[in-house]
Amino acid sequence: MSKPCKVGFLLYPGFSLLGFSSALEVLRAVNQVTGQRVYESVVIAESAVTSNLGLSIEPSQSALEFMDVVILVASKTEVQIPSAALSEASVLGGIGKGANLLASAGLLDGYRARLEGATDALQELYPRVALSQTTFELDRNRMTCGAGTAAMDMMLSLVAREQGVNPAASVSELLVRDRLGGPVTSSFVVPPVRKQQPQIEEATQLMAANIEEPLGADELASLVGISRRQLERLFRKYLDTVPSRHYLKLRLEHARKLLRETDNPVVDVGVACGFSNASHFSTAYKNHFDLTPREERQS
């Protein structure tokens, strides 16, 4: 049996208890539904840390070492973080102002991220971060979200990418059914057709997790565990399209969201959605939405 993925929560005074517990419950639930110790959760701090609700959490350890995933949970940015040690983790995450701390350390440069604060001010502070207006972002080996239950959606998406869609869907159903910590507002819902066809759902999740650097058709099929022809056949049968067209649709829909909800330059939006050529981006966008990216921005 492989070693569990070690997830360290780096807590700072005043951290969001809801955000922390939401993320923690997802990891606990994964172990429960799989019957295996897939994740090991560790609280990292030098001493007991008091949350925003006054509850103190005792740390499991004080040193930040040997972690596969490290998630910063904070409500303030006037703190020091161990940037060098953080860079050793395979995946970095931030909940609430924890995401802003990562940005301040330059650890979100070149990534899409959800930060807390006014967009204009954030853009000036972190010009190399592609700011997102969504509740959470999972971009390659970085994940960020707001301080509340968005942490649950973020962790479910990570589980879907790392462990597969079926475990993530089972965890989501378990959390909703048990109403852990109050009403669950997770948006991780698997559409009926895709739920019955796990290869389609897994392929779609992989597409969504790789918008900026799109996967090739053969690579996508290989990751799903079937041939390219088999994947194309499934998409035609159940979604009436082919994987490449569906992938392009997801990228363009994400581009439209960025154009409507952010002030990022059109060229940067194209790059963030996997279009290295501005002309190609404009043509594809117009073919799909019947207007150019610049026209979308002005509408």
User: Tell me, what's the pLDDT at 92?
Assistant: 95
User: Tell me, what's the pLDDT at 192?
Assistant: 40
User: Tell me, what's the pLDDT at 180?
Assistant: 35
Q: Pairing between strand 112-113 and 39-44?
A: unpaired
User: Tell me, what's the pLDDT at 193?
Assistant: 41
CA dist 235 and 230 (Å) reads: 9
User: Tell me, what's the pLDDT at 194?
Assistant: 43
CA atoms within 13 A on the CB side of 185: 7
CA dist 286 and 116 (Å) reads: 32
To the nearest 10 degrees (0 to 180), the angle between helices 198-209 and 228-239 is 100
CA dist 27 and 176 (Å) reads: 15
CA dist 124 and 144 (Å) reads: 19
DSSP 182: S
Residue 263 burial by Cβ neighbours in a 10 Å radius (0-12, 13-18, 19+):
exposed
Q: Are 93 and 70 in contact (CB under 8 A)?
A: yes
Question: In the beta sheet, which residues pair with residue 49?
Answer: 57
Range(s) within the chain of domains with CATH label 1.10.10.60: 190-299
Domain 190-299 has CATH 1.10.3720.10: no
User: Tell me, what's the pLDDT at 97?
Assistant: 94
Instruction: Please state whether the predicted TM-score (pTM) of the whole model is above 0.85.
Output: no
Pick the CATH number of 5-159 from 3.40.50.20, 3.40.50.2000, 3.30.470.10, 3.40.50.880: 3.40.50.880
Alpha carbon of residue 227 to chain centroid: 27
User: Tell me, what's the pLDDT at 148?
Assistant: 77
Residue 75 phi/psi, 5-degree rounding, is -120, -5
CA atoms within 13 A on the CB side of 296: 28
Tokens describing residue 86: 């953080």
Q: If residue 201 lies in a helix (H) or strand (E), which one and from where to where?
A: helix 198-209
Per-residue pLDDT of the chain (299 residues; tens, 9 = 90+): 578 999 999 999 999 998 999 899 999 999 998 899 999 999 998 899 999 888 899 998 877 888 999 999 998 888 888 877 888 889 999 999 999 999 999 999 999 999 988 778 888 999 999 988 777 888 889 999 988 778 888 898 888 888 877 777 778 777 765 543 443 334 444 444 444 477 887 788 788 878 888 999 998 998 888 999 999 998 888 777 899 999 998 899 889 888 988 888 999 999 999 998 999 999 999 999 899 999 999 87
Q: Are 61 and 44 in contact (CB under 8 A)?
A: yes
User: Tell me, what's the pLDDT at 285?
Assistant: 95
Closest CA to 224 of 239, 209, 241, 245: 209
CB crowding 104-122: b at 16 or more within 10 Å, else e:
bbebbeebbbbbbeeeeeb
User: Tell me, what's the pLDDT at 1?
Assistant: 54
Range(s) within the chain of domains with CATH label 3.40.50.880: 5-159
CA dist 193 and 201 (Å) reads: 9
